[in-house]
Chain A
Amino acid sequence: MDELSEAISNLEEDKVLQLVKERIDKGEDPIKILDACRMGMAKIGEGAGDTVFLTDLIMAGEIFNEAMEILMPKLSSDTSENLGKVVIGTVQGDIHNIGKDIAINFLKAEGFEVIDLGVDVPPEKFVEAIDEYDPMVVGMSGLLTLSIEPMKKSVEAIKAANKRDKVKVIIGGERTDDEVCSYVGADAWVNDAIEGVKIIKKWAGVA
C-alpha cells in the first residue's frame, strides 16, 4: 500500500499531514493524494468492529478532515469524484452526534457529498433538505429508544410531501433492528456507522 494510505490506516497523524504537504509541494496531482487518503480510510473501515473500534474511527475521521483541509484548496470541484448526495441528521429529540459524524467522515472519504443537518432535526427539515439538495439517500441517526418515534415521523413527513420514492432512507443507532426498521418505514437499518456506509455504497452501485 501507498505510504500515505498506510499512515492513515495506522492513524499516524503527524506523518499523514507531513506526507500530504510534501506531495503537494512536489506538484503531485491532488486527486491522487486524495485517493491515497481514501484508500487508507477504506482500510480502516474494513477492520471496524474487529480490529478497529470507535476511538480509532473518530481519530481516523479527524486525520482525514485535517488532510482534506490542506487538500481542498488544491482540488477543483469538477475534478473530484462524487458518488451522490447524502442528507444526514440526528432525529428530533436526540442530541447525540458521534455515530452520525463517523458516518459523515467515512462517506466523504468514499466520495459522497454529505449534507449534515446536525442534531435534534425536526421532520420538516429532512423534507426541506430533500427539496434543496435532491439527495439519493437520507440518513437518520439516533442513539436512544426515544429516537424511534421521531424517525417514523420524519419518514411520514417525507411521504406526505410525495418524496419518499425519490430517496432511500437508512436509520442508524444502538436500538434499531428489523422491527424498528419496518415500523419506521425505512429501507435499511444499522447498528454501526461503517455498516451504513457499506449499504449506501451498494445503493450507489459502487460496492
Chain B
Amino acid sequence: MENAEEIIKTKIERLEVTTALKTPDRVPIGIATTYFPAKYAGVSYEQIWHDNDKYIEVGTKFSRDFNWDALSLHRSFESVPLGLALAGFNPDLAIGVAVSSVLAGGASHDILADVYSSNPGRELGENNESQWVIETPVMNADEYDQFNEKPFDFLMGKVIPRAYKNLSDPGSPTAVGSLLLMGQEVAKFPGFLTKFVGEMKKEAWLPWYYALAPNPLDFIGAFLRDFDVLSLDLYRSPEKVKKACETLAPVLAAVGKMTGTISRDVTGSKRVFFPMWYNTYLSPEKFREFHFPYIKQMVNEVVEAGFTPLMSIQGRADHLLDQFKELPEGKVILWFDKTNLVKAREVVGDKFCLAGGVPSSLLIGGTPEKIRAHIEKLMDALKGDGGLIISTEFNGMGDAKVENVKALTEAVMKYGKY
C-alpha cells in the first residue's frame, strides 16, 4: 500500500483522539476477528492456526482489502500459565513463553498437550473454531493457601504438571524434551514477530491490540479452577479467592506493561487488551467484591505507565455499568460485546470512549441494507463529538457474509465522518 507509514500515523492519531474524547475526522473501526479473515482469504482455520506463512497471507490480504483502522487476529493462550510460572525466574523469558501461543499460533498446544483448548485440525475439524474448557481443574479447592503462599513455586510444582500432559512427569524424557521444543519455539518468536509486523505494516496495519493483561478472577477461572467450580469457591472460600486475586493483580499488571511496551515499540499501538469474561456470571455485589477492584487496580497502574486499557467486556454487563465510571476518564476504551451500547452511553455519560455496536448475528444473518441502516442509526445515537469506535463482539464474526462486512466498512466511512 502506498504511503503505508502515513496511513498508520493517521490511524494511530484517529484512535488516540477518539479515546481522549476529542473529535477525530471520522469514527474509527476496530475489530478482533481471526476466523473471518481466514474464510475471506480461502484459508482453513487449521492452516491459520498452525501455518505462520498462511497466517501472514491472511492478515496482509485482509488488511489490504478492508483497511480498517485497527484489526487484531490472534490465536490462543495455552502457554500463559507456563509463562507466568517463570515470572519470578526471568520476566523476559516468561513473557516470551506466554505470548508465544497468543501471537505465534498453535505450536505450544501441540508441544505441551495442555488440558485447556481444542484446536482446529487437531481435536476439532479443520474449520471448527478453537474452544477453551479446562478438562478438570488444575488447582484444587483446598490449594488456595499454597498458591497464596508461594504462587510461582505452586504454579510450577503443582499446576504445570497437571495443565500440560507432556510435562506431567517432571524430569522424564517427554517433559524435558517438550520444554526444549518449547524453547525452540520461543526462540523463533522474535523472527516471526519482525516478519509478521513488517509485512502487515506494508498494508498500513495497526493492531486493535497487541498486548495483554488478564485479570485475576478470569485468570483463576480460565487457567486454574474452571468457571463453574470457581463459582462454588466464591461461596465456600471467599477470602482465599480474594487473597489469590491480590497475589495475582500486580503480576498481571506487569504482564500488561511489558507486553504494552512491546506493542508500542513494534506496532505503535499503546492499547493493552483487558479481557473480561467472568462478569457475565456475577451479581453486581459479587462483581464489586471479587472482580472489579483488582481490574481497577491494574488499569490504574497500566494507565500510569502511559498505556490505554482496552476493556473487552465480554458477554453481558448491563447490570454492572455503574462500576465502570470509577475507571480513569478519557484513558480507557470500554468495548462491549452484548451489552446495549446506547444504554452504556446513558450510564457512563460522555466521559468514556465506547467501542462496539455491531452484533455478529447481524453480520452473519443480515443483509447489506440492514447493516447500512443499523450503522446510520448507531451513528445518530452515539457519534456525538467523539468517543465512539465501531466494533463487533470479540472474535464472534467468523461466519459473517463478505458483502455484509464490506457494507459495514463502507457505512462507517460514509456515516462516521465528522
Contact = CB atoms under 8 A, between A and B. Distances in A.
Interface in A161-186: 174-175, 177, 179
Contacts of A24: none
Interface in B101-124: 118, 124
B399 interface: yes
A95 B231 contact: no
A52 interface: yes
B32 to A, nearest CB: 15
Contacts of A174: 315, 338
A55 B282 contact: yes
A94 interface: yes
Contacts of B118: 95
Contacts of A55: 231, 234-235, 281-283, 286
Given A58-B228, A179-B361, A13 B280 contact: no
Interface string B330-371: 000000001000000000000000000000110011000000
B30 interface: no
B396 interface: yes
Given A53-B283, A56-B283, A146 B128 contact: yes
Nearest to B235: A59
A87 B76 CA distance: 33
A52 B283 contact: yes
A97 B399 CA distance: 23
Given A98-B227, A179-B365, A59 B232 contact: yes
A13 B236 contact: yes
A144 interface: yes
Contacts of A177: 361
B360 A11 contact: no
Interface string A1-39: 000000000010100000000000000000000000000
B228 A96 contact: no
B133 interface: yes
B398 interface: yes
A98 B280 CA distance: 13
B235 A11 contact: yes
A69 B129 CA distance: 38
Nearest to A101: B228
A58 B228 CA distance: 7
Given A52-B283, A53-B282, A53-B283, A95 B235 contact: no
A93 interface: yes
A74 B365 CA distance: 52
A97 B234 CA distance: 20
Contacts, number: 64
A54 interface: yes
A51 interface: yes
A53 B228 contact: no
A52 B285 CA distance: 11
B232 A62 contact: yes
A112 B269 CA distance: 54
Contacts of B128: 93, 146
A145 B232 contact: no
Contacts of A53: 281-283, 286, 319
Contacts of A146: 128-129, 398-399
Give the bracket for the number of chain A residues in contact with chain B: 20 to 34
A179 B133 CA distance: 28
Contact of B129 (A58, A62, A144): A144
Interface in A89-131: 93-98, 101
B297 interface: no
Contacts of B231: 54-55, 58-59
B190 interface: no
A183 B77 CA distance: 33
Contacts of B90: none
Interface in A68-82: none
Nearest to A95: B133
Nearest to A59: B235
A56 B281 CA distance: 8
A174 to B, nearest CB: 8
Interface string B306-324: 0000000001000100000
B38 to A, nearest CB: 14
Contacts of A54: 231, 280-282
B172 interface: no
B133 A93 contact: no
Interface string B203-244: 000000000000000000000000110011011100000000
Nearest to B135: A95
Contacts of B232: 58-59, 62
B281 A175 contact: no
Given A54-B281, A94-B131, A145 B124 contact: no
19 contacts: A13-B235, A53-B282, A53-B283, A53-B319, A55-B283, A56-B283, A58-B232, A59-B234, A62-B232, A96-B131, A97-B133, A97-B228, A98-B227, A144-B129, A145-B364, A145-B398, A174-B315, A174-B338, A179-B365
Given A54-B282, A93-B124, A145-B399, 13 more contacts: A13-B236, A53-B282, A53-B319, A55-B286, A59-B231, A59-B232, A96-B131, A96-B133, A97-B228, A144-B131, A146-B128, A175-B360, A175-B361
The 10 closest A-B pairs by CB, nearest first: A54-B281, A55-B231, A58-B231, A53-B283, A55-B281, A95-B133, A179-B365, A59-B235, A146-B129, A98-B228
